[in-house]
Amino acid sequence: MKRLRRGALPSSNENATAEDVLPQVAEQPAHVDAPVVADSNDDAKLTQELEIEQIRSTLEEGIVETRSTPLENRLQLPRIALSKRNRAVVRALNPMLVTYLEAIRDLCETDSILLGAALVVCRTIGAKVSTDGRATGQSSAIPAWRTRIEERITKARALIGRLICFRSGNNRPRIVRTVRMAFAGTNVGLSQPKITQKLTERIDDLKQRIAAWGKRIRRYTERSTRFNQNRLFQSD
């Protein structure tokens, strides 16, 4: 009976040996030859850096182009779709504008920079930009009243020149005839002793009229320029 029991029960040495072998087998790492995979993040970062440098160089070219182009001749930019790619281009471009906008104190200069940036965005995403210029609605015709005033200024300047010639002693028939026409309808004669004073008064009066006419044209030009610039700023 004792011999049968000893044969049925395993010995303690055998158990210890089995327990020592199992952990060793479990602890051995499996040697598997895995293929080497290239890191795609590095390629993506390199591509992104190249695109940013290209956008930066294109931004400088666009700003120079818009600065050198008059407001009425600038390109007409299209509306772009709000896709993920377009938004990514705008987000990459926004930090670059800080350098240009920090030292700007002029509204026209600010408009040139922003329009140049918008032009860069359109060219980067491949949007079609019209090369026919912007539709400003400004008429190129000169008002009739301005043409009449400019003709009056031209005639008044010519008359001032002949009056000055006559006052300096030029008695040519053409000069004398012009002076007589200038004093027609008055009691001023060319042989009067105060003719020099009358000539000076007449010249001063013509100069004042020329200044008033020129001021009227200048006010109209400044108002028209401000109006057209405001329309262009609103359309940007």
Q: What local confidence, expressed as pLDDT, does residue 45 receive?
A: 58
Q: What local confidence, expressed as pLDDT, does residue 156 receive?
A: 94
| pTM exceeds 0.75, yes or no | no
Angle, helices 84-101 vs 107-125, to 10°: value is 150
Work out the end-to-end distance of the chain between its first and last CA atoms, rounded to an integer number of angstroms: 108
| 8 A C-beta contact, residue 136 and residue 72 | yes
Q: What local confidence, expressed as pLDDT, does residue 117 receive?
A: 83
Q: What local confidence, expressed as pLDDT, does residue 59 receive?
A: 79
Chunked mean pLDDT (size 10), the chain, 236 residues: 52 47 45 46 55 76 78 73 82 81 78 81 78 51 89 94 90 88 81 85 94 94 86 68
Q: What local confidence, expressed as pLDDT, does residue 25 receive?
A: 43
Whole-number Å distance between alpha carbons of 109 and 23: 77
Angle, helices 195-235 vs 107-125, to 10°: value is 40
